[in-house]
């Protein structure tokens, strides 16, 4: 059984919506919003795990990979967040990105 948190549940919902979105929606804005969210979450996790190293930038793997990228980044971040306040902030970022993506 996979351990879930409010963050992983929120991002899994967003990822499911992205996977079900038409290609035209992904092309317009949804994939770009998801990629930016994935990058932001990945940098956040890297800064916690390795504060002395410069964070690496998540590559653009294409619009059809955006759902997977946010899932990986959020699940990694969920493992290292230390407080409920941080989790709430991450969930807020996911909700805002999903709203901007229109999915």
Distance separating alpha carbons of residues 39 and 31, to the nearest angstrom = 12
Does the structure show a pLDDT above 90 at 2?
no
Range 73-98 average pLDDT: 95
Q: Give exposure, 44-55, as e/b (b: 16+ Cβ within 10 Å).
A: bbbeeeeeeeee
pLDDT of residue 1: 37
pLDDT score at 82 = 86
Mean pLDDT computed over 42-69: 97
Q: Is the pLDDT of residue 73 over 60?
A: yes
């Amino acid at each position: 059984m996979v351990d879930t948190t409010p963050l992983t549940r929120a991002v899994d919902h967003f990822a499911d919506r992205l996977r079900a979105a038409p290609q035209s929606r992904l092309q317009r804005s949804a994939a770009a919003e998801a990629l930016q969210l994935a990058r932001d979450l990945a940098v956040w996790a890297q800064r916690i795990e390795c504060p002395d190293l410069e964070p690496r930038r998540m590559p653009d793997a294409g619009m059809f990979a955006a759902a997977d990228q946010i899932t990986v980044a959020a699940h990694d971040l969920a493992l290292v967040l230390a407080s409920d306040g941080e989790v709430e902030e991450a969930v807020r970022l996911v909700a805002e990105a999903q709203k901007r993506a229109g999915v």
